[in-house]
Amino acid sequence: MHHHHIILRVVTKMLVGTIILFAFYVQFHGDFSPGGGFQAGVIMAVAFILYGIVFGLNKAKQVFPAWVVHKLVALGVLVYAGTGVASMLLGYNYLDYGAFNPHHPSHGQHWGILAVELGVGITVTGVMVAIYYAFAGRPPPMKDEDW
Amino acid sequence: MSATEVHHVAKTLMDHLPILQVVIPLMSAPLIVMIGNRNLAWLIAFAASAASFVIACLLLSDVIDGSVISYHIGGWAPPLGIEYRIDALNALVLLLISGIGTIVLPYAYTSVKAEIPQRLHTLFYALYMLCLTGLLGMVATGDAFNVFVFLEISSLSTYVLVSLGANKDTRALTAAYDYLIMGTIGATFFVIGLGMLYMATGTLNMADLADRIAEQGANRTVQAAFTFIVVGMGLKAAMYPLHHWLPNAYTYAPSAVTTFLAATATKAAIYVLLRFMFSVFNPGFHFEDWTLYLIFIPFALLAMFAASFVAVFQTNLKRMLAFSSIAQIGYMLLGIAMLNATGLSASIVHLVNHGITKAALFMGAGALILYSGSAFFDNLNGLGRKMPLTGATMVAGGLSLIGVPGTAGFISKWVLVQAAFENGWWIIAVAIMLSSLLAVIYVWRMFEVLYLTAPDEGCTATDPPLPMLIPMLILAVSCIWFGFDTELTLGSAQVAADGLLAGSAGMMAH
């Protein structure tokens, strides 16, 4: 089994790290160039999906367990909505990023966008991988005790 | 750095109420998944929905005098930014949705344990809160595209909630799938309509849309947009020929889900319909008058008679109540089609009264199912005698469904008949009364099964445990209460109807 598709295996191992790095680039450079949380999330998920396709679902789940994936989906939404609540606690409107740097609202907006896009990236990564897990593994990926 | 310094007055909690209304349930859903404990999940869900109910009360008390609250998300002023806009109409609907959302949860605690496998409980509460978020968001927002986003949030979670009934009856899966297809078509039509409006006007803010449509008058694009929006929302509201998804979804969903959906989901769609037909498109929009007279009235009448007639012949209690819901939506559409203030307030007040009535009836049905195992009339023989308080709830709800004086249902039908006379449509007034007679037949069948047949021998059924009983009784009492005290329901419905008839002027802050 290990001798099959050796080129695919070697190339995948080389690519996965690069893909993840590229995902981070798209994520954190999204406010200056095309990109952002959604694209970065998909690219990040691609790294894990590619790994799963080449090495098998079980290996992918060892790297990125199903329960972590499900928590990530929720975590991203919390990060996004939490950013809004943080601006509210600072006395500004919901998601008014000016709150994060009252003396220089455009800097505040920079931070706000970064935080919100991080939330989007986390959720999109989670959702994409969760959809792949759901399709690839017919039995439900969550055991009773995982909840 | 100091060059760009701007003065800012810190906002207080009260300023944030419109957004907190939606954000509190929204954040509770991922929180439930993160914590992942099924008992805490219930507690978080209940706390969040109770908080949103309190917020809805505060909002309604602020806007009941006809004023408007506008909240700018991200500090961006409309029409560029997303605006949340609360007036008497949506505050009343918010109160209904968050109230039902809160009262169903204690009921759900017991009923979900009986109907849904334990491993899915956490997910159930997360989805329930997402559905509540979607419905509240649809109603609270003043941005047309935001309505679509929240519509999808509530719809997608609803499909899954309906499918959770699969543990008891696998037909829940096909019902959910049906609903998924139909609901997606409805949402697609709605967003196509929005796209056309955006093409014609270049804006998505409802108040701004209203102004620009009034400026440019009716052209083909705007008319097509209107049609797409009415059909799309009509599908979500189960307007008569588009109702096909409803009976199965209500019959096979878990009891708590049916109760929640029946009282809120179609009502939110009716709200959006009202908002678009009157606030975004002016009541003077000529195309709309024809739609109302030639489409709404015939189909509303068909719904009132055909759906009630079908309800009479059902053998399953939940299915019967589902068909009666379709008939009741006919009354709401009829009220809209009257195109006068009385008709609109009848429609709005029926939206609330029917929500409460159906919630009481479906809760009662759920309690009966807890002991009988199914909602078929054959299995419910004499249970009203064995379960006196559940039976009493069904009686109160049933009477309100018919519209017997002294119940909430009477108020809405009375105002509706008044509106028909105001227009001189006495035939329609007679039709309203005749269709109520059909309601008498199917409600009587329910009473007959519950009280006049002998219970099975050795039947050990008793009233359900307190967490189910108390919400049921609260709703049963409200069915009667709102038949006498109409200040809250009819009062705010009248303010809301006046706002709607003012058209785009009604969207302006006074």
Closest B-chain CA to A96: B74
Beta bridge partners of B85: B70
Instruction: Report residue B409 as tokens.
Output: 């249902």
Beta carbons of B327 and B435 less than 8 angstroms apart: yes
Q: Please name which of B436, B429, B430, B412 lies closest in space to residue B497, comparing C-alpha atoms.
A: B412
Beta carbons of B445 and B321 less than 8 angstroms apart: no
Sign of CA dihedral B338, B341, B347, B353: negative
Beta carbons of B406 and B475 less than 8 angstroms apart: no
Q: At which residue do the structure tokens 């009385």 appear?
A: B342
Beta carbons of A84 and A94 less than 8 angstroms apart: yes
Rounded mean pLDDT, A32-48: 90
pLDDT at B507: 62
pLDDT at B2: 45
Beta carbons of A41 and A120 less than 8 angstroms apart: yes
Half-sphere exposure of A93 (CA within 13 A, CB side): 16
Q: At which residue do the structure tokens 């002991």 appear?
A: B371
Task: To the nearest 10°, report the CA torsion of B273, B276, B282, B285.
Answer: -70
CB contacts, 8 Å: B14 with chain A:
none
Contacts of A117 (CB under 8 A, 6+ apart): A27, A30, A31, A36, A37, A40
Instruction: Report residue B186 as tokens.
Output: 């409805």
Q: At which residue do the structure tokens 């006049």 appear?
A: B452
Question: What are the extents of the domains in chain B?
Answer: 11-507
Mutate to test the interface with B, among A67, A80, A87, A94 (most CBs of B within 10 A): A94
Question: What are the extents of the domains in chain A?
Answer: 6-146
Phi and psi of B70, rounded to 5°? -120, 130
CB contacts, 8 Å: B26 with chain A:
77, 81
Contacts of B170 (CB under 8 A, 6+ apart): none
Q: Is A12 helix (H, G, I), strand (E, B) or coil?
A: helix
pLDDT at B29: 95
Give the other-Cβ count within 10 Å of B487's Cβ: 9
d(CA A93, CA A86): 10
Q: Do B27 and A81 touch (CB under 8 A)?
A: yes
One-letter amino acid at B93 equals V
Q: Which of A75, A90, A93 sits opposite B73 (nearest CB)?
A: A93
d(CA B332, CA B311): 18
Beta carbons of B139 and B268 less than 8 angstroms apart: yes
Q: Which of B6, B27, B121 sits opposite A105 (nearest CB)?
A: B6
Q: Which of residues 92-111 of A touch B (CB under 8 A)?
A: 92-98, 102-106
Does residue A43 surpass a pLDDT of 90?
Answer: yes
Beta carbons of A55 and A67 less than 8 angstroms apart: no
Beta carbons of B174 and B157 less than 8 angstroms apart: no
pLDDT at A145: 67
Q: Do A84 and B119 touch (CB under 8 A)?
A: no
d(CA B102, CA B465): 18
- Give per-10-residue mean pLDDT for chain B (510 aa): 59 88 95 92 96 95 90 88 92 96 95 90 95 96 94 96 90 94 96 95 91 84 92 93 93 95 95 92 74 88 94 94 95 91 94 95 93 87 90 95 93 94 92 93 93 84 89 94 91 90 63
pLDDT at B457: 80
SS3 letters across B341-400: HHHHHHHHHHHHHHHHHHHHHHHHHHHHHHHHCCCEHHHHCCHHHHCHHHHHHHHHHHHH
Contacts of B433 (CB under 8 A, 6+ apart): B417
pLDDT at B281: 86
pLDDT at B7: 66
Does residue A21 surpass a pLDDT of 80?
Answer: yes
- The ipTM estimated for the assembled molecules is 0.88
Report chain B's C-alpha Rg in angstroms.
Answer: 22
d(CA A4, CA A6): 5
One-letter amino acid at B505 equals A
Closest B-chain CA to A83: B74
Q: What is the pTM of this model?
A: 0.93
Residues in chain B: 510
CB contacts, 8 Å: B123 with chain A:
147
Instruction: Report residue B2 as tokens.
Output: 């100091």
Q: Please name which of A1, A136, A2 lies closest in space to residue A69, comparing C-alpha atoms.
A: A136
Vertex B127, ends B75 and B269: CA angle to 5°? Answer: 65
